[in-house]
Structure 1
Amino acid sequence: MPVSADDALEVALIVNGTPVRVAGDPTRPLLAVLREELGLVGSRFGCGLEQCGACMVLIDGTPEFSCSREIGNLAGRTVTTIEGLGGGRGLHLLQQALLDEQAGQCGYCLSGIMVSGAALLARTTRPSRQDILAALDRHLCRCGVHNRVVRAVQRAGAAMESAAAEETGA
């Protein structure tokens, strides 16, 4: 049933560092708003049931499924998509590491994997293999690049440590 003008809602949030206002049906999925209204198509629609992870974004720094998050519940929140992962400074180190490890096949799942991997690396730059597998457990990839993805997360963590050491002069 279409939303009437009385039911429409305006939501203000921050997407990839930019304040945005979205008006309309408050039950509309974040994924639809990102793709259709904001032109951010890196997050993908896979299943719509929180089973594949292709739609994963960061909401206030935590990986969340955007296919099931209603825009009306996100007022004042900060959303980071794959497009904003590098923070406007080019590629995130994990994005570069995935390229270096040739971890992409079809690439459909990779945006969600990168978002979850980056969230893990924000918590620790030395995640164990088990930490990485746990962080990426909600992602479905049928191409079989799992080992390359794990290596890429480890590589990015090492690169982050090196960059931090250079900044501190250690």
Structure 2
Amino acid sequence: MEKRFLPFTVPSWLKWVIVCMLVVLVLIFSYGVFLYNSIQEDKTKGFTQSKQTALSETALTKVNDIQRFHGDGFYHVVSGSTKDNKEAIAFVPVDDEKDISFFLTEQFVTEDEITTKWRKTCSDCQLVKTTPGINKGIPLWEFTYIDNDNRYVFAYFYMETGKSYEKIRFKTVN
């Protein structure tokens, strides 16, 4: 008599291959989650120390936001207000022994105003982000966007006047 298999019976070697593949997929997924969390944690590393430094060494009494900026150096941009409720920005250097740069923002062009002005010159561009920055002691607005020619662009504008400071465009390679 000939031995017959049920239609749903799978050879044992195939079961082991499937189990091994599932284990490998779970390990890869777990490593991806670990790597993502590690990168996100590294992006905010030092924010607490920069916040404390800005509060103790400048006129800031309240912190609203902290961002990163890489210009002529690496800075944590601490935005907040003074005891007089005036908005201000402190650029806390992270890697260098530079002094903290502190500015009251009442004399600056606001982010909304400069964004509106920028939109008029580049209406079809896709804005990625806007960040306060500093270069050689000059406070700037950094616009990161994709222009009409599909180039990644960094545009810098003076915070005091809103005039263009510099543009850096990256070509796409096809």
Class of the TM-score when normalised by the shorter of the 2 chains: under 0.3
- TM-score calculated relative to the size of structure 2: 0.28
Q: Which has the higher contact order (CA 8 A, sep 6+)?
A: 1
Flag the structure with higher helix content.
1
Flag the structure with higher strand content.
2
